[in-house]
Structure 1
Amino acid sequence: MRLFDARTQAFSTPPVALPKVIAIDEFKGDTDKGKFQLIIADPITRRPIDILENRRAKTIQRYLRERGQQVEMVIMDLSSTFKNAVQQALDKPVIIADSFHFSRYIYWALNKVRVRVQKHFSEKDRKHGKRIQKLLFKRSHKLNTAQKAIVRHYLSLHPDLQTAYTIKEAYQAWFDTNKAQERHDVRQSLHDFYQLVQDKQLPEFIKAIGTFRRWETEIINAFIYPHLSNGFVEGINNRTKVIKRTSYGYQNFSRFRAKILAQHFIKDFDISVG
């Protein structure tokens, strides 16, 4: 451990200043500092910048006030804690909602409708209901002939499921066609989608668009800056899970942080022998 501490000392010093664009996300570290830690990463270099000992608002605010004078954009999931902390610590930052995290509210709503109505299915259809979840989530034009037949069969079993699928398809069309639109056009088409959901009156989707309304500006920013997302952070977190698993966990947060940062620094070096 003394050798490890000596070798990783260079990674233990926090950066003096953060770049103009950062991405933040939580992950489950299970260290002596708490169950969850927070990663701050650079979406341009796709490398972790630092690891915070917890995800509390005060911790994030203190860190950003000390080192975030240059930060202009922050990418995050739909966490009100992160949003409030960033807004209070920084000077009017542009907050970008990660598209995966806001899109999943629509898919969650579709699945909730499936779960609600499947009690009306036959025993056979109810047994296989969960298996079609991926087919319902998939874009209809990507289904093959057999898959389309299966989807049609299940949609015919209850009108609410048919309506939910129609809303999901409308959302996917909105998402695909608005990637390169101007801010006003994205906002207007999003409001048209709200109206569609209101007209259909499915409570699961009414609740979903409530989240969209609260994060509307941040969602629209995701289309203004389509090259910026949190997808790469999920990759970093997956690598962190491997580090944690192969080490049978890290109790000491400082060493866990150093291990993560060091691992991502050396991963591009070829240190193989022969």
Structure 2
Amino acid sequence: MLDGINHSITDILPSRELNSLFEYFKSIYTKERSKVKIFVSDMFTTFKSVKKRFFKDSIHIIDKYHFIRQVTWAVENVRKRIQKDLPTKLRKYFKRSKSLISKPASQLSSEQAEEVALMLEFSEELKMAYKLKELFYQYVLTQPNKTRAEKALNEWLKRAKESNLFEFRFCITAFTNWFDEICNSFDYPWTNGPLEGTHTKIKTLKRNCFGMKNFELFRKRILLSCS
């Protein structure tokens, strides 16, 4: 867990299971928990339960990286399905160029844009998935506030459902279940970026230690190294 303002670690727990988290937060005084105004997390269902139980008055925000990748995963899965039926040479080409499909069109060079256009010619379904992704980037993500984002996301979800692309069903479900929390992110600048950076440091520390069996000892090493 990270303080969103100064980016310092507030604590490290051995598990993110519901019972473990509930026991931990029950030990913290209500007055102290009430000071939390913004609760940022990924789309792990347990975190929603924790927020509702212990941080009722805070605003729940889903980190943008975690909901954006729901869209890129859907497009990627369409690509995987389509390339299975292609000749070997084309299949390898699609696999090598997969990053171009997920990348926003505005960030592609003219040469890369031509490559993407060529790939999309092989499948109407892939073309549809790509258009949905671009609509999400250019229309939904560019909204200036929650009110506008709610309208844009609802329109995008309607388009995604009408596409009947099997691979988008998980994305649609996730966005529906976390609709309010996702739209909250358009009103506030907070993200899990600093936390993800801390995760990287912890993973590097763990590799350098060749793993650590004792959690309390590892916790102290992390706090010392990442303070």
TM-score bracket, shorter-length normalisation: over 0.9
Consecutive aligned runs of 4 or more in structure 1 exceeding 3 Å deviation = none
Q: 2:8 aligns with which of 9, 31, 47?
A: 47
CA drift of 1:203 comes to: 1.6
Unpaired stretches in structure 2, ≥5 consecutive residues:
none
Structure 1 residue aligned with 2:24: 63
Q: 1:173 matched to which residue of 2?
A: 138
Which is richer in strand?
A: 1
Query: Mapping of 1:1-274 within 5 angstroms?
Result: 40-67=1-28, 68-178=33-143, 180-181=144-145, 183-225=146-188, 227-265=189-227
SS of the aligned residue for 2:39 comes to strand
Q: Which SS does the other structure have where 2:2 is aligned? A: strand
Question: SS state of the match for residue 12, structure 2?
Answer: strand
Tell me by how many angstroms 1:65 deviates: 2.8
**Separation in 2, partners of 1:185, 1:175:** 9
**Offset at 1:170?**
0.3
TM-fit CA distance, 1:89 = 2.3
Letter in 2 for 1:106: V
Q: Distance in 2 between matches of 1:110 and 1:91?
A: 35
**Number of aligned pairs?**
223
Q: In the aligned structure 2, how far is the partner of 1:62 from the partner of 1:103? A: 32
CA offsets 1:50-80 (integer angstroms, 9 cap, x no match): 1012111122122223322422321100000
Residue type at the aligned position of 1:63: Y
Distance 1:84 1:263 in 2: 31
On the 8 A contact 1:62/1:89 being kept in 2, the answer is no
**Greater Rg over alpha carbons, structure:** 1
Secondary structure, in 3 states, of the residue corresponding to 1:141? helix
Q: Which amino acid is the alignment partner of residue 192 of structure 1?
A: E
Distance 1:132 1:115 in 2: 12
TM-score by length of 2: 0.93
* In 2: Cα distance, 1:197 partner to 1:91 partner: 32
Q: Aligned partners of 2:170 and 2:203: how far apart in 1?
A: 32
How much has 1:86 moved relative to structure 2?
Answer: 2.3
SS at match of 2:213: coil
Does the 8 A contact of 1:155 with 1:161 survive in 2? Answer: yes
CA distance in 2 between partners of 1:249 and 1:62 (Å): 27
**Alpha-carbon distance, 1:187 to partner:** 0.7
Q: What amino acid is the match of 1:154?
A: M
- Alpha carbons 2:78, 2:129 under 8 Å: kept: yes
Q: Quick check: 1:58–1:85 contact (8 Å CA) kept in 2? A: no
CA deviation after TM superposition for structure 1 residue 100, in Å: 0.5
- The match for 1:4 is none
TM-score, structure 1 normalization: 0.78
Measure how far apart 1:175 and its partner are: 3.7
Determine helix, strand or coil for the equivalent of 1:96: strand
Mean CA deviation greater in 119-128 or 256-265: 119-128
CA distance in 2, matches of 1:250, 1:110: 38
